[in-house]
Every structure is written in structure tokens, then in C-alpha cells.
Chains A and B, each alone.
Chain A
Amino acid sequence: MGSLGSSRTRAVAVAAVGALTLVVGCSGGDDSVTGGGKKDGKTVITMGLYGVMGIKETGLLEKYEKENPDVDIKAEIAGDEQTYYTALQTRLAAGNGLKDIQGIEIGRAKEITETQADKFADFAGMAGTDHFLPWKESQITTEDGKVLGLGTDIGPMAVCYRKDYFEQAGLPTDREEVGKLWEGDWKKYVEVGRTFKKGFKGGKVAFTDSASGLFNAMVYGYPEQYYDEKGGLIYDKNPAVKEAWGLASDAAEEGLTAKLRQFQPGWDPGLANSTFATAVCPAWMLSHISEKAGGANKGKWDVARAPKGANWGGSFLGVIEKSPVKEEAKKLVAWLTAPEQQAHIFKEIGNIPSSEKALENPDVKNATSEYFDNAPIGQIFGAAAQEIPDKQVLGRKDGTIKDTFSQGLALVEQGTPRDEAWKTTAERIEKAVG
């Protein structure tokens, strides 16, 4: 009996210990917070990226690994930036699951510099990093001068248009002439849309893909959008926002838009089946259009200058302060954002360099796009980059407010009166920032 009893006691103890290890096992993680580190004489650097930043896609990582055989780079790419940023915030808060190098989108730059500055390594004064456009690095610099990342690309804008549709609508097709149609004023762009709608008889084709694309293009042409320099919300007072809202609503109400949502699944069949004639396109959008519109539409698309210069999007690469391979990661970031590599990404997929030096590179300047009927995209976007306002005020919730406005314009496209849609949008923004 006694021996049986004690063996049972042991079983109880084992069960209890088992339960305890189950719980404890969850709190214990690996030693490195970023997954990077030095193993077997190799330096492992992890990267968290999103969308098509061109870093992995154009083979730059393999090139770096070849030049530095002791470095092993592991890049993880999320498709959608919003999903990526949500995860990044959770991980920053938890201090766990981060990568050594993290991508930062321009819409999040302000929030990062205001709330997470101590979690990122400082690039200030690093040798060989003074080749960027003057406004680019200031966006990721904190008030006390800490530089949290280096710039990858910028988003100067142009208008992509379908030459065949323009011809059918009796509009000029040459990119110079098309650019002249709306030179200097987005109102003229919408005016061309009206002419297009009257003149086009070839079926159900809208002038532009979405009202929100037009809205973004207009708003980003001004130094201030939703916030003033002191960080106060001005979206409801800023005449630039009001003007953009009005014109985008005009286009929506008059049926000039295809009512699509950019970068969402419904947009892609629109491109593939050619249901719209123009799209306001930042440089980084070209690769998406050529991929989704496909070979059948090659040469039908062309690129003309936008009415006004504006910057939409662009990213940075930052390094996590706690990374065990911080210096190596910083070195990699500096290399990836160096003029030669930025020029390489541009040549491969068309992301416009944020490096002033790369923009002057003759390979970039004289680049043409075969898909877009050999449009001189180097020239068009290079010139557009010059027009971007030198000062751009960012705000903490820029990204969220932009998305909310896109939804508000979708409401107008679906038939809600614009005043009501504005009211709904304002309520949602107050909620989102509050």
C-alpha cells in the first residue's frame, strides 16, 4: 500500500510540475529580442518590410551577402503596410518579436519620432549618409536631432493614362500634349474628365479609378495637410483639404470615377480589364500597374506630368536600438540606401530615389519605361520630385486620417450627399485621434 501511495504522490507532483512548466514555458523567450545575432561566426540580420520596397525583389540582399560572406540576412515581407504597422506597434510595446531592421512608412514617421524614438538607433552623423533630399531626412528626425532611419524612396506623382481610350474620346495622345491639357491645375484634370465622358463611346469606361486617388494627389501638393507645425489638427480648416474634397466630390458625383479602392483586390481586375482611362500614379505605383494590367495592355498605358507636384508615400529603414547586431544592421541600411543601390532599385522596378545624388545619376535621369510606351519616367518623375514642397508637415495620425478620407469619398461615390459624407468623416477622425 505504502509504495503504491508514494508512487501516486509522485504522479501528482509530476502533473503539478508539468502544469507549471506549461505556464513558465510561455514567458521564457529566446535571448535576442530581434532574432538577429552572431551564430557560428556568421552575423544574422533580420528585416521586417512591407509592400514592394524593392530591397529583396531586386536581389540587393543577395548581392550584399555575396560581398559580405559572413552576413546572413533574413527578410520578412508583409503585403499590406497597415497590417505591418499594427504588428510593429504591438511588438514595440511588448519589446519582443522585432526585427533588427524595420521599414517605416512616411505616414507613420511622425508617430514613431514622437512616441518610439528611444527604441530606434540613431543615424545622426553616420559617415556617407548626407546624400538625401533635404526634406526627406528631416521627416524622421526627432526634435532633439536624433535620426531614426535612412530614406529609401519618395513618391513624386504623375498621371498614368490610356492612350487608346484618349484617342477614342477625341483627346490628344502625346504625353507632352496630354500634360499640357491639365498643366498647373487639378481642376483642368477634372475638366478633361468631363470632355472624356462626353466624347468616349467605347463602352463602360470611367475617366479615373477613384476619387480618393485624386484627393490624395491634391492634398499632398501642399506643405500642410491634416496637421499644422505645432501638431494641431487642421483638417477641417485647411483650405487645401476643403478644395481637394470639393473637386474629388465633383468627380465622384458626375460619375467620372470607377468607384474602385486602390490597392485592394477589386482594383486589380479593374486594371486587367481596363475599366478606367487614367490614374494618378506615384512612381511606386507603376510596377503595380504593369504587373496587374498585364502584357495585353503593354504600350497602351503612358505617363504624363501631373498638374502639380506632390509627394505620396515613400519609406525609411530604421534599426532597433536593442538589436544585438546594431552596428552591422546600420551598416546594411546605409548600404541599401546608398545612391548606387537606390538607382539600381529604380532601374529594376521604378521606385524613385530619395537620394539627391541618385536622382542626378544619368542612368536614373535618362531611364524610360518599356511598358509605358517608353515614357521617359526618369525625366517625368525627376522633374516632379523638384516640385515637391520643400517643407512637409507630418502629423501623428496622418495615415489613419488619409484612410478615413478615402472612405468618406467612397461614400460620395456610392451616392451619399457630400456634406453628409464630410460630417461622417469628421466624426470618424475625431474618434480616431481622440
Chain B
Amino acid sequence: MATSTTKALTGEEPPGPPGTPGGGKTASRRSALLHRLDVKGAPFAFVAPFFIVFAAFSFYPLVYTSWISLHDVELATLDVMEWVAFDNYVELWGDSQFWNALQNTVTIGVLSTVPQLLMALGLAHLLNYRMRASLFFRVASLVPYATSVAAAALVFTMIFERDFGMINWALGAVGVDPVDWEADKWPAQVAISTIVIWRWTGYNALLYLAAMQAIPADRYEAASLDGASRWKQFTHVTVPGIRSTIVFTIVLSTIGATQLFGEPLIFGQGPNGVTGGADNQYQTLGLLLYEEGWKNYQMGRSATVAWVMFLLLVLAFAAQRLIRRLRSRTS
């Protein structure tokens, strides 16, 4: 920061400092050139590392993936590429497995995001009260987030196991028939959503908590003077006060939901997880990409799925912008 201010200051000074009138002309020109380069070039040089790394590890793969998606390529013979233009995309459009995966991604996304954020809101509200050992509870709510996906998914897979899982055992104890959590579509999606909810609720709750603590206390005082109940205070003071954080968590959760991969993969166990169950009943787009690439070894089709996922996100973003613009125009 300090260097940039000095730079800005020196930049405003006229070239050829007054203290060096007798200096050689070429030398002063050279130093002036260096000086200009320094002022104009330095910022670029300082941000260059990020962009070089970005180009090498994000932009180049992105472009290369699109190139691959226009070919027929197998993993075993990566050097043999057959040009097929947009055939992969046309095929994907007509593939019922793709639409199924898209639908699953949306339903699991809704099933996991909505309860997750609502519960996080409630949890944050509770953590916001004065209480004993509040630090302990705040740290505890972050522990699931610090757990690896693999460990969490594996434990939940055992809990939801059909024959000897804890949940079916508990259901049996109260006389309910066991549920085949893996084989049936909706139970499987609920089970996977549970893993996601468990991992992310505490994290979101802490974000909400931080935002809640920034709400001035006098607003609550004013509300209680007006006779607002606790619930009214929550809905009319707390929620509007943290609106921008809520939007932020919705965006984060949506991105997370479109990329959902590890949880269903481990939940399905081995080759069965790659296809999202025997009937693709919980195959997400991420899993479809993986199946094409690492089970069928068809890199071209796998790259196509990757690009379609990217385009879907761009589309969702554009739609959101459009809606916002229309709404701001009407209001």
C-alpha cells in the first residue's frame, strides 16, 4: 500500500526533477522511461502471478476442454482425436440420462439448500443469545464443515444402510417398515441431501451470526418499545438486517449444489455410485461427467458435459441479471 501511494505521488511530479539540471540528457531520458515503466508497468507485474496461474490452470483447461468436446477421444488413446464438430452436444441433448441428471441436480439442490439455510438461520438466531459456553457452540457448529466429504459421506452411508443401518433400526423399533435408502429415488435423494445439510448448516449459521452481530442494538430496542414480539423482531429486524448475507449464502449454496459430486459418489458405493444408483436415481451432472470420462473412458463426451454445466451456470447468472433489471425497472 505504502509503495503505491509514493508511486502516485511521484507520478504527479513533472518529469526531470528540479534538483538535477546539470545531468546528462540521455541519462535523464532513460530514467524518465524507467520511471514511466515503473509507474505504468508495476501494477501489472504485481498482479501478473495470479493471471499467469489463472491462464495456466483455469483458462487453458477451459479452452482445451471445449476443443476436446468437439472430438471423439478415448482415455486410453488420448493422441487419437476424431473431429465430430457438435455431435457430442446434439447427442447429449437427446440423451435422457442427461435430462435425468439435470433434474436430479436441481431436486437434490433444492432438497439440500432450502432446509440448510433455514436451519442455519435458526441456529444463528439461537447462537446470538447470551449464553454460557457460547464459544464452544460456535466452534462445534463449524466442525462438520471441517470434516472431509469422504469421511462424512461414508459415515452417513453406514447410517442409511438398508439391512443394518441405524435409521432403519430406529424405524423398526417404532414399527415402521425399513426403507431402502439407496435403491429408491426419493429416499436416496433425501439421504444425500442430509449429508450436505449436515456439513454446511453450521458454516452458514456462522456467516449469519456475524451479520446479526452487526445489527445495531437500538433497532431491537425500538422494536420492543413498539411492542414487537421476539418473532416479530426476528422477521422484521434480524432478517432484513442480514439480507445481503442471505443472498451471498444462496449464491454459494447454488454453486455448491450444481457441483455436487462426492456425496452421491460415496453414497452409491463403487461402480454403482458412479452411475448414481442402478437406475441413475441420484446421478447428478457431476457424476454424469465422471461416468462418461472415468467409467466409459469417453473424454469427448465427458468434456461436453463439463461445458454444458458451465453454460448452464452462465445461463442462470444471465437470467438472474435480467430478472433483477426488469424488477428494478418496474419498481
Contact = CB atoms under 8 A, between A and B. Distances in A.
Contact of B56 (A18, A23, A82): A23
Contact of A20 (B6, B52, B162, B163): B52
Contacts of B48: 15-16, 19
Given A2-B31, A12-B41, A18-B49, A403 B76 contact: no
A68 interface: no
Nearest to B182: A266
B76 A15 contact: no
B76 A92 contact: yes
Interface string A1-35: 11011101100110110111011001000000000
B17 interface: yes
Interface stretch (A36-44, A235-243, A406-414): A406-414
Given A12-B38, A82-B270, A273 B76 contact: no
Nearest to B290: A86
B17 A410 contact: no
B1 to A, nearest CB: 14
Nearest to A269: B164
B78 A12 contact: no
A149 to B, nearest CB: 16
B269 A82 contact: no
Nearest to B266: A265
A261 B161 contact: no
A424 B157 CA distance: 26
A270 B298 CA distance: 35
Contacts of B37: 9
B232 interface: no
B38 A269 contact: no
Interface in B1-58: 3, 6-7, 10, 17, 31, 34-35, 37-38, 41-42, 45-46, 48-49, 52-53, 56
A128 B52 CA distance: 55
A116 interface: yes
Interface string B292-324: 001111100000000000000000000000000
**Which size bracket describes the interface of A in this complex?**
35 or more
Contacts of A424: 279
B75 interface: yes
Given A2-B31, A20-B52, A411-B278, A263 B270 contact: yes
B295 A264 contact: no
A5 B38 contact: yes
B76 A266 contact: no
Interface in B72-101: 75-79
B62 interface: no
Contacts of A273: 163-164
Contact of A6 (B7, B34, B183): B34
B271 interface: yes
A411 B17 CA distance: 83
Given A8-B3, A92-B76, A115-B76, A22 B49 contact: yes
A5 B278 contact: no
B269 A407 contact: no
Given A19-B53, A264-B269, A266-B161, 13 more contacts: A5-B38, A8-B42, A12-B38, A22-B49, A86-B75, A86-B294, A93-B75, A93-B76, A93-B77, A261-B270, A266-B182, A275-B163, A400-B295
Interface of B: 3, 6-7, 10, 17, 31, 34-35, 37-38, 41-42, 45-46, 48-49, 52-53, 56, 75-79, 154, 157-158, 161-164, 180, 182-183, 269-272, 275, 278-279, 294-298
